[in-house]
Amino acid sequence: MIEEGAVKAGSLLEGLPAAPLAKEITDILADAREVRIERIVSTGQVTPEGQWYDQETDEWVLVVAGAARLRIEGEEADRELTEGDWMLLPAHCRHRVTWTRAEPPTIWLAVRF
């Protein structure tokens, strides 16, 4: 639990890079014992060839702006994600990001729990 009275606030749409960067930017917006909320800004990054995310925690992810493609291991095709689309990826659900829109950047919200 957060310190009582400590309201925090911000905008997911501010502080974006003016041009594509080599790496994604991750901002931690909230971090409690069981939950972490992050904004991730992608400017074309993908998961390196042959690699999969295999995470210890459940992840709920939302495309706030932009677009992306994501492959779940065992599925035949990429899933297309656009603004407003969310996915709940259980822990150890192996997946890779195969494309992200670079300009303007793709803004993700990730809740790990």
Q: Is residue 90 involved in binding a second copy (CB under 8 A)?
A: yes
CA separation (Å) from 6 to 3, 20, 31, 32? Answer: 6, 34, 13, 13
By beta-carbon proximity to a second copy, the closer residue of 21 and 93 is 93
Asked whether position 67 contacts a second copy by CB under 8 A, the answer is no
Sheet holding 59-65, edge to edge: 25-31, 36-42, 106-112, 59-65
Q: Which of 40, 41, 89, 97 binds a second copy (CB under 8 A)?
A: 89
What whole-number distance in Å separates Cα of residue 39 and Cα of residue 107? Answer: 7
Q: Pick the binder of a second copy from 17, 26, 30, 51 (CB under 8 A).
A: 30
Q: Which of 46, 67, 102, 109 binds a second copy (CB under 8 A)?
A: 109
76 binds a second copy, rule: CB under 8 A: no
